[in-house]
Chains A and B, each alone.
Chain A
C-alpha cells in the first residue's frame, strides 16, 4: 500500500517535471543541440592524427637532389611546405612568429652526405670512422606542441627509397605489431564514445543541479514542504525524467557517430543500456547533491563546471588514464565519467561483456545510492 502511494506520488512529480520541460523550449532545444553540435565540432576538430603541419625549407644546395628530397618529405603528408627562406635566421623568425612549425635545412653538401649514408648502400669510404656518418639534412622544430614535435621526429628515420629509385636497405622490425579495434588509428573512433561520457556528464549534472534550487528560487519549495511527500520521493521524481533525456542524447551521439564518423558499433545493446543507465543515474544524483548545496542557479552552474572540467581532463577522454600521476588517478576514480568512459569504450569498440567490467558498473550503482541518500538527507536538513 505505502509503496503504491509512494510510486503514485513519484509519478506526480515526474509528470509535472515533463510538463514543465516541454514548455521550456530553451532547455528542450539544448537536449538535442548540445550532443549534435558538440559531436560534429569535436569529432572533426579533435584529431590526434597530425597531418599537414606547415613547414618551411631552407635549401642551401639548390640541386635536383634537394628538390626531390623536399618532395619526398611532402609526400608523407605529415608536413606541408608553405615557405622557402634563404637563411636559417629568417626561418627561425618564422618559427617564432608561428608562421611555420618546423624548418627543413638542407646543407650545400647534401649530395656528398647522401652518398656516404649507410642506409643508401654505397657505404662509407674505406678506413673512415662510423662516427663520421652525418644525417643528410636537419629539422628545426617548434617543440612547444608535443604532438606536432613527435610527428616530425617520426620523420627522422624516413626511408630514402624514392630518393635514389632503388629499394631501400630496409631495416627489419624487432616486433611485429597488430592493432586491434581501431586498425586505421582514427581518433574519432576513440573520441566519439568518449564524447558520450562528456556530454552526458555535462547535461545530466546541469539539469539536476538546477532542479532543487529552481524550486526554491521560484517559491515552489514553500508548497512542496507542506505536501505529504517525502524528500526521497521528491528526489527520485526529479531524477527520473532526465533518464529518458540521457538516453535520447546517447542515441543521438552514437547514431551520428555511426553516420558521420563510421564508428564501428561492436557491443551488445543490453550492455550499453545497462551501463548508460547506471552512469546517467550517478550523474543525475551528483547534480542533485550539488543542488542541495547551491543557493541559486548561478552557483549550481559554477559547481557543474567544477565537476565538468576534471571529467573532461582526468577521465581519460583527453589524456590516457595510465599516464597520469597516482593522485590524479585517484581523483579520476571518484568521477562517474571515468568509469563510464571505460565501460562505453569497452562496449562500443571492443564488445566487452559487462561481467568483466562489473567493478566499474558496481561503482556507478553504489555512487547513485549513496548520492541519493546524501541528497535526501541534505534536503531534509534545509527545512529546519
Chain B
C-alpha cells in the first residue's frame, strides 16, 4: 500500500457568487501521475492553487506531504514544483540566467547548485541554448525550460497546469516521456489538461466540470464503468440521421467522426445495435456496430448536465 501524499476532503472555493470548486475529495498516491480533465473554466487551476497553498479554501481540509494547508504553506513550498499555464519565466533573461535565478531561491550549496543546473540542462536538452534568451525560444524549448525550472529543487510533488497547450504532438510525446521518468523516480505529478490523449496517459484521472468532480479512477476503469454503450453507424446522409437520433430519449449524444456517426446509448438499453436498427428511420444499407468506448465518450457521458 503506497501512501497518500495529497489528501483533500470537502474542498470548497467560493469567489463571490461563483462556486469555483464544490465539495472536492481527492487522494493522490506517491509516484502517481494524477490528471484533472475538464473544460476551460472548470476550476482546474483553482484546485491546483489551493493544493499548493496559494489560495485559501473557503472550507474543507487539505493535507499535502503530511502538512496541513494553508497553515503550513511556507514550509511546503520548498518541496513543491509548479509549472504555470502560461510561460512565466523571464523572457529577457537567458536560459542559464533563468535557472540560476530559480536555483538562488532554494537553499543549495554553491557546488550543488552548479551541478544541478548542468544536470538539468543536459536532461532537458538545453545544453546548446545556455545563452539564448528565453523569449526567443520555440514553444517546445520554452516548455522544457519551464519544466527544468519547476523541478530544480527536486520536488516531491510536481504540479503542471496545462503544460502542453503550446506544444506540437511530437514535443508532447517527448514531454510525457520525461514525466514518466520523474514519476518512476518517485515524484508525484498532478497535471491538468483538456486533451484526451494526454489524460489517457495518466495513472489516475478526475473529470471536473463546473468545480464538481464527475468521475475518477484509472482511464481504463473509467471506460469500463461508463454508463453508456457506444455504437458506430456508417452510411449515407449522416447529418440528417444525427438530427433524428438526437430526438430519441435513450440517445445521450451523436457525434460525427469522418463518414461515421458515433452514438452514445444509455446503459439501460439491453442491445444497443438492435435498438438502433429498430428505429423507424433506420435504413438497411447502414452498418451498425458496437465499439469500445474511448475517454472522450467517458467525458461526454459524465459532463454536459451542468454546462452553461
Q: Which positions in A face B, CB cutoff 8 Å?
A: 5, 8-9, 11-12, 15-16, 19-20, 23-24, 218-223, 225-230, 383-384
Contact = CB atoms under 8 A, between A and B. Distances in A.
B93 A228 contact: no
Interface residues of B, number: 26
Contacts of B88: 219-223
B56 interface: yes
B15 to A, nearest CB: 10
Contacts of A226: 52, 54, 77, 80, 82, 84
A220 B90 contact: yes
Interface stretch (B103-111, B211-219, B231-239): B103-111
B84 A16 contact: no
A9 B266 CA distance: 58
Contacts of A16: 90, 93, 97, 101
Interface string B62-83: 0000000000001001101010
Contacts of B105: 9, 12, 227-229
Interface of B: 52, 54-56, 74, 77-78, 80, 82, 84-93, 97, 101-102, 104-107
Contacts of B106: 228
A222 B150 CA distance: 12
B105 to A, nearest CB: 5
A218 B106 CA distance: 23
A218 B92 CA distance: 10
A12 B2 CA distance: 38
Nearest to B78: A228
A50 B32 CA distance: 82
B104 A384 contact: no
A223 B91 CA distance: 13
Contacts of B93: 16, 19-20
B107 A5 contact: yes
Contact of A220 (B77, B80, B89): B89
A288 to B, nearest CB: 19
Given A8-B104, A383-B54, A223 B74 contact: no
A12 B113 CA distance: 13
Nearest to A383: B54
A223 to B, nearest CB: 4
Contacts of B84: 219, 222-223, 226
- What are the 8 tightest A-B residue pairs by CB atom distance, in nearest-first order? A12-B104, A223-B88, A226-B82, A228-B77, A222-B88, A222-B84, A219-B86, A16-B101
B104 A228 contact: no
B49 to A, nearest CB: 9
Contacts of A5: 107
Contact of A219 (B77, B87, B97, B104): B87
Given A227-B77, A384-B56, A12 B101 contact: yes
A326 B25 CA distance: 63
Given A20-B90, A23-B92, A219-B87, A384 B55 contact: yes
8 contacts: A8-B107, A9-B105, A19-B97, A20-B90, A218-B90, A219-B87, A221-B88, A229-B105
B45 to A, nearest CB: 10
B83 to A, nearest CB: 9
A321 B300 CA distance: 73
